Amino acid sequence: MPDKTKRLPALLARGIADLFPLGTSQDQNLALRLQESSQQKKPLRIKLGIDPTGTDIHLGHSILFRKLRAFQDAGHLAVVIIGDFTARIGDPTGKSKTRVQMSSEQIEANSISYLEQLGFGKPPEQSLLDFTTPGRLEVRRNSEWLADLDLNKVIDLLSTSTVGQMLAKEDFGNRYSSGIPISLHEFLYPLLQGYDSVAVEADIELGGTDQKFNVAMGRDLQSHFNKRQQFGLLMPILVGLDGVQKMSKSLGNTVGVNEDPLSMYSKLEKVSDSLVKNYLTLLTDLDLETLPSNPRELQKTMALAITEQFHGRLAAEGAKADAARLISGSKDSNAEVQEASISAIKFPVKAFYLLSAIGLCSSSSEARRQIQGGGVRLDGEKLTDPNLEFLNKSVLIGKVLQLGKKNFRRLAS
């Protein structure tokens, strides 16, 4: 969308999918708002909410945090809102049924895990976000202002929207037309998330393209409460390793930010050619005009750059070298990790038997010890139960079974 971003600094504009509003005044044009901020030496407040209903951050999540970091590096204040109160409702976006409400203990544990993965306690050069530079980060929990809302304020919030507007939200509309129940408390989620923007006086809210309804709600509520309205800056949803669906842990197509260097590099260097440029744009700061034209070299460049961000240059180079050694002696530069056939295995099969059957472990007892010791992963996900059962080979074909940091087998029929 070059027409909307051409006046923004390059790193702020990079990869943006949508920016609204777009007009000629300072309240309608982000470039002018940024210019005003610079002239007044008053950093903008950039809001990004975290839904702490999970425990792991993957590269799909990191897109928004990378953009938030770009604003930090440009001198603005990142306002990270941990939705500890709204998590009790659960974001209905992308969900086909009412989400199970979580306990406050679960929510807090997840919140701490998220902050650690974002870099809490680490220097800025090793973190997704800058936690140490004064005036660059504000971490808030929305229970600060939402837990004490009285009924009058809740009624006031509800009065700002209609049932028709809520049903215009695609997820609600689909569920309503399909006869799937919608609990009334779910309508509160976008209103409460929008009220977060009022509470922290956000100038810009970041979100994925699936969050436009909620971000726009923040603008509406700021207007209702006589606050200056925020801009909505939306980033694309990252397609996962399968090359088809969005990156999601439930779909098993993710790269976690905490994965070891070899797993991360090995996954990324096999991303399909059609996704490489998108990954480079959204997950790196590399100049796209100076990159290799050879598709295979471009894959490796992308994998190395992303792995370096999370593990440093030396570890990334080591992962690249280790990955090359995993190639089974083929002269073809596109050779895959050594394959292991599972055609002779009778299903269902337990995890410990699978390891011994393909030769990664010398015995079933060793396989059990390796799994219990945390040394075994399947497509980057740690296996913890030796008795985990795989019902048929279709759930395993094409996946990489890893023992330690250097022993890989791609499961084949």
Summarised one tens digit per residue, pLDDT across range 171-214 is: 888 888 889 988 888 888 899 999 999 999 999 999 999 999 99
Q: Output DSSP code: residue 204.
A: E
Alpha carbon of residue 152 to chain centroid: 36
Q: Which two tokens stand for residue 308?
A: 């370096």
What is the predicted pLDDT for the residue at 184? 85
Phi-psi region of 116 (alpha: psi -120 to 50; beta: other; left: phi over 0): alpha
Is the distance from CB of 46 to CB of 78 less than 8 angstroms? yes
Please state, in angstroms and rounded to a whole number, the distance separating the CA atoms of residues 99 and 232: 26
What is the predicted pLDDT for the residue at 47? 98
**SS3 category, 89:** coil
Q: What angle do CA 176, 181, 187 make, to 5 degrees?
A: 75
Do 2-235 and 259-327 agree at the fold level? no
Would you say domain 259-327 falls under CATH 3.20.80.10? no
Please state, in angstroms and rounded to a whole number, the distance separating the CA atoms of residues 188 and 214: 11
Q: How confident is the model at residue 231 (pLDDT cuts 50, 70, 90)?
A: very high
Q: Is the pLDDT of residue 19 over 90?
A: yes
Average pLDDT rounded to a whole number, residues 239-255: 88
What tens digit of pLDDT does each residue of 126-168 get? 899 999 999 999 999 999 999 999 999 999 999 999 898 888 8
What is the predicted pLDDT for the residue at 333? 36
Q: Which two tokens stand for residue 399?
A: 């996946």
Place of tokens 């979580």: 102
Is the distance from CB of 101 to CB of 90 less than 8 angstroms? yes
CATH architecture of 337-413: Roll (3.10)
What is the predicted pLDDT for the residue at 330? 35
What is the predicted pLDDT for the residue at 331? 35
Average pLDDT rounded to a whole number, residues 377-398: 87
Percent of the chain scoring above 90 in pLDDT = 59
Give the CATH number of domain 2-235. 3.40.50.620
What is the predicted pLDDT for the residue at 91? 59
Please state, in angstroms and rounded to a whole number, the distance separating the CA atoms of residues 131 and 108: 19
Please report, for the chain, the start and end positions of each structural domain, with discontinuous segments joined by +. Answer: 2-235, 259-327, 337-413
What tens digit of pLDDT does each residue of 307-360 get? 999 999 999 998 898 788 765 333 333 334 567 899 889 899 999 999 999 988
Lowest mean pLDDT among 27-36, 305-314, 360-369: 360-369
What is the predicted pLDDT for the residue at 79? 98
Is the distance from CB of 174 to CB of 124 less than 8 angstroms? no
